[in-house]
Structure 1
């Protein structure tokens, strides 16, 4: 477990996942970082892809499934900064906890 996150994730598994899908940065946000995180809570994941890679819908779905397996079957909601709701974007970016950063 890294920092405030209420889940454990294999660093090696996460690094391999990010390299496979050309992810530059992966962060957690939402209830996984708060005290209201429960056993049935999903995990909100913010990703930034390498500039020349942007997966389509099917690839994003596969990524959510694979990341869910890395997180012991927990449901994963994967989103990019571009698709964050404007009303919460600044709050999410300020609170997000980086789990992987390229380089």
Structure 2
């Protein structure tokens, strides 16, 4: 998207920077919406393949302040036990789908002092 700025005939460096920031901010919202769409479309597969019973997006992607190098924070719960095969299966599956590193957090592993913050911003799919 930022490559578009090279083709815009704007002389003011300030205006060019402002337009670039607007494009970045718009991209952040698209990223959240696209991530939620992908998670929603694949939730049934995640349930069938790995026993996922809960899936929620939280963190910088939800807040819209993610950076290019940010991971995607996802809260997950499983039907039954959370085996390493299930956990890493979901993590790798989501990383392949989303094309970005995923920080997968199980409800059981969520630190008690962080739980209220995660719940407040989490978007469940």
Q: Which has the higher contact order (CA 8 A, sep 6+)?
A: 1
Structure 2, unaligned stretches of length 5 or more? 1-28
Q: 2:100 aligns with which of 63, 69, 74?
A: 74
- Structure 1 residue 4, shift from structure 2 partner: 8.7
**1:32 is the counterpart of 2:61:** yes
Structure 1, unaligned stretches of length 5 or more? none
More helix by share: 2
- Matched with 1:19 is 48
> Cα distance 1:11–1:35, how it changes in 2: closer, same or farther (>3 A)?
closer
Return the TM-score normalized by structure 2.
Answer: 0.65
| 1:81-96 equivalence runs, <5 A | 81-96=107-122
More strand by share: 1
Question: Deviating runs (4+, > 3 A) in structure 1?
Answer: none
How many corresponding residue pairs?
A: 94
Q: CA RMSD in A?
A: 2.2
Q: Distance in 2 between matches of 1:83 and 1:32?
A: 20
